[in-house]
Each structure stands twice: as structure tokens, then as C-alpha cells.
Amino acid sequence: VRTAESPGWRSRNRNHKGPWGPVNGIVIHHTAGRDSLRLCIEGTADLPGPLCHTHLSKAGVATLVGYGRANHAGTFAANAHNAVVAEAAIHPRPDAAEPIDGNRHYYGIEIENLGNGTDPYPEAQYDQAVRWAAAICRLHGWTAHSVIGHKEGTRRKIDPTFDMAVFRARVAERLKHPADWSPGSAATPTKPATEPPKEEGDMPSAKDIAAAVWEHPIENQFRKDSAGKPRRIAAQDFMEYGDKHHDDIVARLDRLTAAIERLTAALIKE
């Protein structure tokens, strides 16, 4: 999962307002709007943040927003919740009665989408949502039937605007493979097909060496997997990821600088 961290996410929660856990499943949401990260963190006067555990941008960056109780699920129907607990293959239409505290029992992701039924979920974004859900299932030893759409937990909601059976099938497919598996990666040609075949004993070309260096997996000591081993990532992906983060930091710094300037101006006026 291509993650980013919002500062303070590890302790951003609503645990002071109610219980958190035991966790039983995962709820998929759409944001019904754009530029929704700040809203997910802060919430509104009526619905204080965090509004999810993870926010997934249109570009497919999963930003960690909070950990613990979050205002994302509200109340759930017991029949829908029981199906998740049992990891039943059938997810029944939720009852009208909603006795379950969903915020206590579920992780939630907000996928950036207008939610109007025509705004597409680009594969780069959808795939990240699948990976995110599969990662949590893998951690807890759950099957894909622990993943439901918000619309499957309550009649009040319509999100997400995609077929949850298809989404669960994608999660189930991932869970059959190791965590670093990418669908179709083995079949994707990494070199132009026009390159002539090399004879045995030929020296590799400079181009071959350069390509091999960029594709070579490096160990990231700062990101460990569940077994505590450093995660391996292709040098090229690592560079791109670092570049994206750099842009994010510069943008954040710009906002901070502008805020300090406004503050200074206000103080001088005083």
C-alpha cells in the first residue's frame, strides 16, 4: 500500500467518547467530494474527526488519518454485523433496526470519489483500496468476507458506488498470494520487444545494467513487515515515492510559512 502519514495519526481517535474494539471487520466508504483529507482529519461541528482510519486520494495515496475509535460507521444493523463476524458468504440486506455501534467494531477507509455513480475509481486508486483491505485481513487472519461496504451495514447509506462482491473477490485473490504480489506483474514486459536476443557470454549492455539497477529491490529499514523484516521495494518505486513525499512536504511548508506571515502581520498590528 502506498501510504502517507498525517501527523499525529497514531493517537487521533474518539476513544474518549466510547469503546474501541474488539474489531470485527472493515468498512469501505466513498467521500462524496474532492480534497477531502482535511475533512476526514478534522470532521465538522456536528461530526468531529477523525472520520476514518485511512483516506485514499484519487491518485491512490493512502493517508493514515487515525487509529482507534473513528466517526465513520455510525450504527449498524445486527444482521449485517453478525454476517461479518461469521464471515458468511452472503451479506444480507441490513435490517431497519440498528443496535450495533459500528465505530467500535470496524476499521474504515474513505475513498475519494464524488459518489454520483459516474465519477470513476481509477484502477490505481481501486487497487490501493483492495491492498489496504487485504493487508488488514492478513494481519487479523480474516477472510475477504470481513470487508463490507457502508451500504451493506446500514440502509441509511449508499456508499461505496461499486459492487462489493467484486471488491471482496479482489481482496480474496490478494489473500491467496504473498503481500508483495502484484497482479500480472510477471507478464508485463520490462524491456522493448525489439531488443535483439543476446548470445551466451555476451556482456550486458549499459541499458540492461541501468534497467536492472532501477528494478533491483532494496530493503527499507524504516518500513518493516508483520514479521519485522524490512520491506523490499524497487529502487525506482522508492525514488518516485520519495519524490511525491517531497512535494507534499514542500506544499505543507508553504502553507505553514503563509500562516506564520499572517500571524506576524497580526501581531505587528497589535
CB contact set of 118 (below 8 Å; sequence gap of 6+): none
Instruction: Work out whether 159 is an interface residue with Zn ion (CB under 5 A).
Output: yes
Name the nearest CA neighbour of 94 among 148, 144, 145: 148
Span from 128-136, 152-160, 178-186, 201-209 in contact with Zn ion (CB under 5 A)? 152-160
Tell whether residue 98 is a contact of Zn ion (CB under 5 A).
no
> Applying CB under 5 A, what is the total number of residues that bind Zn ion?
3
Nearest distance from residue 171's CB to Zn ion, in Å?
18
Task: Examine residue 152 and tell whether it contacts Zn ion (CB under 5 A).
Answer: no
Task: Say whether residue 150 binds Zn ion (CB under 5 A).
Answer: yes
Using rule CB under 5 A, residue 55 touches Zn ion: no
Least gap, CB of 249 to Zn ion (angstroms)? 30
Q: Is 29 in the site for Zn ion (CB under 5 A)?
A: yes
Nearer to Zn ion, 29 or 168 (CB): 29
Cα separation, 142 vs 147, in Å, equals 9
Which one-letter DSSP state was computed for residue 89?
Answer: S
- Nearest CB to Zn ion, comparing residues 32 and 211: 32
What span, in angstroms and rounded, lies between the C-alpha atoms of 137 and 183?
18
Grid cell locating 199: 548470445
Q: Which is nearer to Zn ion, 14 or 150 (CB)?
A: 150
230: which strand partners?
224
Distance CA 150, CA 119 (A): 18
* DSSP secondary structure letter of residue 48: B
Using CB atoms within 10 Å of the CB of residue 247, give its burial: 0 to 12 exposed, 13 to 18 middle, 19+ buried.
Answer: exposed
Map the footprint of Zn ion across residues 211-240, applying CB under 5 A: none
Nearer to Zn ion, 73 or 83 (CB): 73
Contacting residues toward Zn ion, per CB under 5 A:
29, 150, 159
